[in-house]
């Protein structure tokens, strides 16, 4: 493409600035002892249902989770998530196809991070663009639903390459979709060998305990807990 050198130059500068801000955010989150989890996927993979169940479970385990959710338009997801009882903030990107570190920073105002144990960031539904934008998270989780097809990791390798964990969602629909779990796992591992894969259904609860154990394990690795 003839315009590539120019756009690449500008993109590189903007991404560099985002990376610097994300590094500052990461240090801030670590100082506050909050585990930050960035959830990325296509639209309709079920991030909100997965997160809603997660928030409810963590609250019942006397942890202090919060969430920031990004969408182009509407605050539907924030309202759904807030029914869990956890503090939730919506970022409306008005056309921007991903969240950026600066957007996250602007939505932390007047939140006392030291009073949180976990902060979930539900990214804009997009299996391409969020890959390049570090938000200062500790854990990037890519979700893939059984309805999307087993080939998506091969066709959209960027997000799978940069993820710390893959979660297969909507496993209650696996049979109806003729989902080939072995093939999906092989494709994820072809792109990212050794990546941990959880198979879940937020609707039925399958595999959710494994996810909660993983979060508890991550929290246990943090610096000796905080006073509530």
The footprint of a second copy (CB under 8 A) covers 1-3, 6-7, 10, 13-14, 17, 42-44, 71-74, 76-77, 95, 97, 100, 102-103, 124-129, 145, 147-149, 151-152, 154-158, 170, 173, 176-177
Query: Closest separation between CB of residue 173 and a second copy, Å?
Result: 6
Cα–Cα distances (Å) from 5 to 9, 15, 16, 63, 130, in that order, read: 6, 15, 16, 48, 21
Query: Closest separation between CB of residue 127 and a second copy, Å?
Result: 5
- Which residue, 117 or 122, is less far from a second copy as judged by CB? 122
- Which residue, 12 or 114, is less far from a second copy as judged by CB? 12
- Rounded Cα–Cα distance for residues 100 and 102 (Å): 5
Give DSSP secondary structure letters for 59-127: HHTT--EEEEEEESS-SHHHHHHHTTSS-EEEEE-TT-SS--HHHHHHT-TT--GGG-SEEEEE--S-S
CB contact at 8 A, 167 and 144: yes
Query: Closest separation between CB of residue 18 and a second copy, Å?
Result: 9
Query: Closest separation between CB of residue 208 and a second copy, Å?
Result: 19
- Which residue, 32 or 78, is less far from a second copy as judged by CB? 78
- Which residue, 206 or 218, is less far from a second copy as judged by CB? 206
């Amino acid at each position: 493409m003839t315009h590539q050198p120019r756009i690449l130059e500008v993109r590189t500068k903007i991404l560099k600035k985002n990376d610097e801000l994300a590094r500052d955010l990461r240090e801030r989150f670590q100082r506050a002892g909050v585990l930050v989890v960035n959830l990325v996927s296509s639209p309709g993979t079920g991030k909100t249902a997965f997160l809603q169940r997660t928030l409810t479970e963590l609250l019942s385990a006397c942890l202090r989770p919060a969430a920031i959710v990004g969408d182009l338009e509407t605050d539907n997801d924030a309202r759904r998530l807030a029914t869990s009882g956890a503090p939730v903030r919506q970022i409306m990107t008005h056309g921007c196809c991903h969240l950026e570190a600066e957007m996250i920073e602007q939505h932390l105002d007047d939140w006392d991070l030291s009073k949180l144990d976990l902060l979930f960031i539900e990214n804009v539904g997009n299996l391409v663009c969020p890959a390049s934008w570090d938000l200062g998270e500790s854990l990037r989780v890519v979700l893939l639903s059984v309805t999307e097809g087993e080939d998506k990791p091969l066709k959209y390798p960027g997000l799978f390459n940069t993820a710390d964990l893959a979660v297969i969602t909507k496993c209650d629909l696996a049979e109806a979709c003729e989902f080939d779990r072995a093939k999906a796992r092989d494709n994820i591992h072809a792109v990212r060998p050794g990546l941990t894969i959880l198979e879940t259904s937020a609707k039925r609860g399958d595999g959710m305990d494994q996810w909660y154990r993983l979060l508890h394990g991550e929290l246990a690795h943090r610096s000796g807990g905080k006073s509530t």
